[in-house]
Amino acid sequence: MIINHPLLGPRDAQEFTYLGDAALIDRPDALSFPSTEAALDAFHDYLYLRDNPAGEHRELWFHEQGDRSWLVVTRNTVTHEITKVELARDVARAKGRSK
């Protein structure tokens, strides 16, 4: 596969390592829950309940043999067509993540 890196242009997928669902970006804030039970429930869902679509999937790739950018790659899991590549940092910021 070829991943069109937003900063570096088209790069071979062999330069990257794969992590998984980009929903990992939506990590809950551990200190925002009223009880330990509520935090455990939220983290359980966050870590273990993932969509596994046959079709479009947003996923995290790390340019390990390159510039070390984490990317959010929108890839069709059936055809392997890649329709969008973004810097994970930009995606995280757009979701309101900061420090």
Partner 1 sequence: MTQENRINGGQIDRTKTLRFTFDGHPYTGHPGDTLASALLANGVRLMGRSFKYHRPRGPISAGSEEPNAIVELRTGARQEPNTRATVAELFDGLEANSQNRFPSLKFDLMGINDRLSPFFAAGFYYKTFMWPASFWEKIYEPIIRRAAGLGSLTREEDPDQYDKGFLHCDILIIGAGPAGLMAALTAGRAGARVILADEDFRMGGRLNAETLTIGNHSGADWAEDTVRTLAQMPNVRLMPRTTVLGAMDHGIYSAVERVSDHLPVPAPGKPRQILWRIYSRQAILAGGATERPIAFENNDRPGIMLAGALRTYANRYAVAVGDRVAVFTNNDDGLRTATDLQAKGIDIAAVIDTRQEGDLLPGIRHLKGAQVIDTAGKLGLKSITIRHANGRSETLSVNALGVSGGWNPNLNIASHHRGRPVWNDAIHAFTPPTDGPRNLTAAGAAAGALSTHAALSTGAAQANAALEALGLKTHTADIPKAEDAPLNLTPFWYVHEGKGRAWIDQQNDVTVKDVKLAKQENFTSVEHLKRYTTLGMATDQGKTSNVTGLAIMAELTGRTIPQTGTTIYRPPYTPVAMGALGGRSRGHDFKPTRLTPSHKWASEQGAIFVEVGMWLRAQWFPKPGETTWRQSVDREVLQTRASVGICDVTTLGKIDIQGRDAGAFLDRVYANTFSTLPVGKVRYGLMLREDGIVMDDGTTARLGENEWVTTTTTANAVPVFRHMEYVRQCLYPDMDVQLISTTEAWAQFSVAGPNARKLLQKVVDQDISDAAFPYMACANITVCGGLRARLFRISFSGELAYEIAVPTRYGDAMIRELMKAGEDFGAVAYGTESLGVMRVEKGHVAGNELNGQTTALNMGLGKMVSKKKDSIGMVLSQREGLTDEKGLRIVGVKPVDPSQPLTAGSHFLDKGAAATAANDGGWLTSVVYSPHLGCSIALGYLKNGSAGIGDRMRAVNLLAKTEVEVEIVSPHFFDPEGERLRG
Q: Is 64 in the site for partner 1 (CB under 8 A)?
A: yes
CB atoms within 10 A of CB 7: 10
Least distance from C-beta 52 to partner 1, angstroms?
A: 18
Which CB sits closer to partner 1, 52 or 79? 79
Interface with partner 1 (CB under 8 A), residue from 11, 70, 73, 85 = 70
Q: Is 81 in the site for partner 1 (CB under 8 A)?
A: yes
Alpha carbons 92 and 99: distance in angstroms, whole number: 11
3-state secondary structure of 19: strand
CA Rg, the chain, in Å?
Answer: 15
Alpha carbons 60 and 71: distance in angstroms, whole number: 6
Residues that bind partner 1 (CB under 8 A): 1-2, 13, 17, 19, 24-25, 27, 29-31, 36, 39-40, 42-44, 47, 60, 62, 64, 68-70, 79-82, 87-93, 97-99
